[in-house]
Structure 1
Amino acid sequence: MKATIFVLNGPNLNMLGQREPEIYGADTLADVKKRCATKAAALGLEIDFRQSNHEGDLVSWLQEARDAASGVVLNAAGYTHTSVAIRDAVLACEKPVIEVHLSNPYSREEFRQHSFISDVAAGVICGLAGKGYELALDALADICGVSDT
Structure 2
Amino acid sequence: MKAQVSTEYLVILAVVLVIALVVVYLVSQGTSLGGGIVDSQSQAYWKGVGPLAINNFRASGTGLQLEIQNNAQETVTMTALSGTGLTTYTTSTTFAPGQTNTVTVTLAATCGAAGTRYSYGNVTFTFNQGQVNGKTFVGQRPVSGTCS
Question: TM-score, normalized by length of structure 1?
Answer: 0.27
Higher-Rg structure is 2
Greater fraction strand:
2
Greater fraction helix:
1
